[in-house]
Structure 1
Amino acid sequence: MTSINGYPARPSVRAGDVLRLHISTSAPRFRVDFYRWGATPQHAGHAEWPGRTAAPGTFDRDWQWPAYEFPVPSDWRSGAYIAVLSTEPSSCTPPMDSREARILLVVTPSAPSGRKILYKIPTFTYHAYNTAGGGSLYSASQVTTRRPGCGIGGPVKGLPDPYDSTSPRQTFAHWDAPFIAWMEENGLESDFCTDLDLHEGRHLNDGYRLLVAAGHDEYWTSNTRRNVTAFRDAGGNIANFGANTCWWRVAVSPNGAGLTCAKFPPGAPAGTDPDSSYGCPDHWWESEPENALLGVSYRSGGGHWDGLRAPLGFTVTDGDHWIFSGTGLKTGDAFGREAALIGYECDGAAYEIDAAGRPRPTGQDGTPKDFEILGIAPLPSDWNFAAREPTTSPHAATLGLYTAVGTVFTAATTDWARLLATDPQVASITRNVITRLS
């Protein structure tokens, strides 16, 4: 049986620069077709090369597969691109998602484009869950980024999603693809980058008004966080349509080819759950709570990973706020409940109920005191909860925003993108946030 798979030397490339791919195949020749993801996949170009074979490596070392160079045309528009590897010609558009023979790429602008929205692809998180070579950041403290898989084209750790069985969680197809398609269908133009680009200090100073992320953006470096915070403090806005965000700190090797994360307390016995532990070196919340940037944290939310969950939606706490314009929602109404909008993981802020009966942040977990809780969803007791500081606040998903020069919005649930195409209220809120903040 003919085999083929591959990975990029780095996950992004500027339009006009040379893309390096590493590919192994048992076929004498092979073809790579490049598709830009959007409302529909658009064929952008192809290359044909002689095949060479190489043995698979381990999860923690560069696989060093044969290298091929492709000059990216300077007129390629910034976007998320999928490289489809094939050994036989095909007359039809192949499926974009697969656990092999696919490579996820991000083309960044060759120069500032004038667009106001920058969309971030969370490659660190996709690599953390990638199990190619027999391991991931859930079984080891170090992984290589130079192996197949990174949101596409490789095996993935995690349980299946009963609400969307078409793709595994922790993949581009599951989280980013539907959000990006919805944006394009609604005329919301953006440029694209990866978290490695932001780690390296690229793009945030190129005139963008809004940084957007969706789905599951769990692993951040110190540089990424520092640069995103500086973007906010210079007046840039942030819209996070996801959850479990900035939960783990990772370090990137100088050449960008390796990720490390120290999850376990020193001397922790085998089988320790790091989320439920204190003293984890790379828990953001234990040293520099992510609430200070995002307004929320997974430790005041929770997760339900296995099977169907109780249907939960957000209860609106201020129906007059601009994010609800055109939705028909009033204070006390709920949205997203029937489709289980809350989950599979969600973020929250420690809160108390004020004299008017509205939830207000206590600030004890690092959440800015001016964070406005605009939607709330208390979580059932059968969810998974992480360790946190002592607090009387219930675990709850808390949708909201605050302003500190720039405005930061959080949807506070990973599954927000799943409802975009079917829930007009979720879609209207998303459109309101993106159009106003961009």
Structure 2
Amino acid sequence: MISINGYPARPSVRAGEVIRLHIATSAPRFRLDFYRWGATPQHAGHTEWPGRTADPGTFDRDWQWPAYGFPVPPGWSSGVYIAVLSTEPDSCTPPMDSREARILLVVTPAAPSGRKILYKIPTFTYQAYNTAGGGSLYSASQVTMRRPGGGVGGPVKGLPDPYDSTSPRQTFAHWDAPFIAWMQENGIESDFCTDLDLHEGRHLNDGYRLLVSAGHDEYWSTDARQNITAFRDTGGNIANFGANTCWWRVDVDPGGAGLSCDKFPPGASAETDPDASYGCPDHWWESEPENALLGVSYRNGGGHWEGPRAPLGFTVTDGDHWIFSGTGLRTGDVLGREAALIGYECDGAAYELDAAGRPGPTGQDGTPKDFEILGIAPLPSDWNFAAGGPATSTRAATLGLYTAAGTVFTAATTDWARLLATDPQVASITRNVITRLS
């Protein structure tokens, strides 16, 4: 049986530059087709190269497979490109998602484009869940980014999603692809980058008004967070249509070759659940709570990971707010309950009720005091809660925003993108947020 797979030397490249791709195959020759992701995959070009074999490596070391240089055409638009590896002549458009023979590549602009939206692809998180080579950041403290996988093309740790079985949860196809497709269908143009780009200080100073993230953007480096915070502090806006965001801190090897994350408290046993522990060196919330930037944290939310969950939606707390314009929602209505909008993980802020019964942040967890809770969903007791112990308030998903120099919006649930195509109210809120903040 002929085998073929590959990975990029780094997950992004500027249009007009050369990307180094590492590919191993038992075929004497192979073909590489590039598709730009959108409402429908658009074929962007192809190349053919002689094949070379190589053995699989381990999860923690650069696989050092044979390298091929591909000059990215300067006319390629910024976007997410899926490279499809094949040993047969191309006959039809193949599926974009696969656990092998696929490479995810983000093309960034060659120069500032004038677009106002920058969309962040969370390659650190994709690599954290990538199990190619027999390990991930859930079984070890260090992984290489130079191996197959990382959004597409590799095996993935995690449980199936009962609400969308077409792709594994921790993949591009599951989280980002539907959001990007919806943006294109609705005429919303953006440029694209990776978290490695933001870690290295690229793009945020190129005239963008809004940074967008969706789905499951869990692993952040210190430099990426500092650069995004500086973007906010100079008037840049952030829209986070996801949850469990900025939960773990990662260190990035020079050149972006690998990631490390120290999750376990000193003396912890192999059975320790780091999410439910204190004293974890790389928990953001224990040293510099992510609430200070995002307004919310998984610490005050929770997860329901296996099987169907009780349907939960956001109870609207201020139906007159601009994010609900055109939705028909009024104060007290519930958003997304029928389709289980809340989950599979969600974020929240510690809160208290005022005299009128409306929730507001206590600020005890680092959430800015002017964070407006616009939708709230208290969580059932059978959910998985992080850092088990006394909570400062009822754990609840809290949708909302605040303004420092820039405005930061959070949807506070990983599954926001799943409802975009089927729930007009979710779609209207998304459009309102993106239009206003960009």
**What TM-score, normalized by structure 1, do the two folds share?**
0.99
Question: How far is the alpha carbon of 1:392 from its aligned partner?
Answer: 3.8
In structure 2, the partner of 1:318 is: 318
In structure 1, the partner of 2:412 is: 412
Q: Percent identity?
A: 89
Whole-Å separation in 1 of the counterparts to 2:133 and 2:392: 44
2:138 alignment partner AA: Y
- 8 A contact 1:299–1:388 mirrored in 2: no
SS at 1:44 equivalent: strand
Whole-Å separation in 1 of the counterparts to 2:2 and 2:427: 43
Question: How far is the alpha carbon of 1:269 from its aligned partner?
Answer: 1.3
Whole-Å separation in 2 of the counterparts to 1:223 and 1:90: 42
In structure 1, the partner of 2:230 is: 230
**Alignment of structure 1 residues 306-385 onto 2, 5 Å:** 306-385=306-385
SS at 1:235 equivalent: coil
In structure 2, the partner of 1:189 is: 189
Whole-Å separation in 1 of the counterparts to 2:80 and 2:9: 16
SS at 1:226 equivalent: helix
**Alignment of structure 1 residues 195-210 onto 2, 5 Å:** 195-210=195-210
> C-alpha offsets along residues 370-427 of structure 1, whole Å, 9 cap, x if unaligned?
0000000000000000117744410100000000010000000000000000000000
SS at 2:339 equivalent: coil
> C-alpha offsets along residues 215-266 of structure 1, whole Å, 9 cap, x if unaligned?
0000000000000000000000000000000000000001210100000001
1:25 aligns with 2:28: no
In structure 2, the partner of 1:4 is: 4
**Alignment of structure 1 residues 27-426 onto 2, 5 Å:** 27-387=27-387, 390-426=390-426
1:238 alignment partner AA: I
Q: CA RMSD in A?
A: 0.7
SS at 1:225 equivalent: helix
- 8 A contact 1:365–1:389 mirrored in 2: no
Whole-Å separation in 2 of the counterparts to 1:314 and 1:391: 21
> C-alpha offsets along residues 97-154 of structure 1, whole Å, 9 cap, x if unaligned?
0000000000000000000000000000000000000000000000000000001000
SS at 2:211 equivalent: strand
> Would the alpha carbon gap of residues 267 and 219 (structure 1) be closer, same or farther in structure 2, given more than 3 Å must change?
same
SS at 2:106 equivalent: strand
Count, aligned residues: 438
Whole-Å separation in 2 of the counterparts to 1:73 and 1:256: 23
Structure 1 residues without counterparts, runs of 5 or longer: none
1:216 alignment partner AA: H
- 8 A contact 1:300–1:388 mirrored in 2: no
SS at 1:360 equivalent: strand
SS at 1:436 equivalent: helix
2:333 alignment partner AA: D
Question: How far is the alpha carbon of 1:367 from its aligned partner?
Answer: 0.1
> C-alpha offsets along residues 61-105 of structure 1, whole Å, 9 cap, x if unaligned?
000000001100001000000000000013110000000000000
1:155 alignment partner AA: P
1:68 alignment partner AA: Y
Whole-Å separation in 2 of the counterparts to 1:194 and 1:66: 24
Whole-Å separation in 2 of the counterparts to 1:77 and 1:170: 26
- 8 A contact 1:82–1:105 mirrored in 2: yes
Whole-Å separation in 2 of the counterparts to 1:203 and 1:138: 31
1:201 alignment partner AA: G
Q: Which runs of 4+ in 1 moved over 2 A?
A: 388-392
Whole-Å separation in 1 of the counterparts to 2:320 and 2:177: 31
1:56 alignment partner AA: P
- 8 A contact 1:59–1:131 mirrored in 2: yes
Whole-Å separation in 1 of the counterparts to 2:357 and 2:338: 25
1:414 alignment partner AA: T
- 8 A contact 1:327–1:429 mirrored in 2: yes
Question: How far is the alpha carbon of 1:9 from its aligned partner?
Answer: 0.2
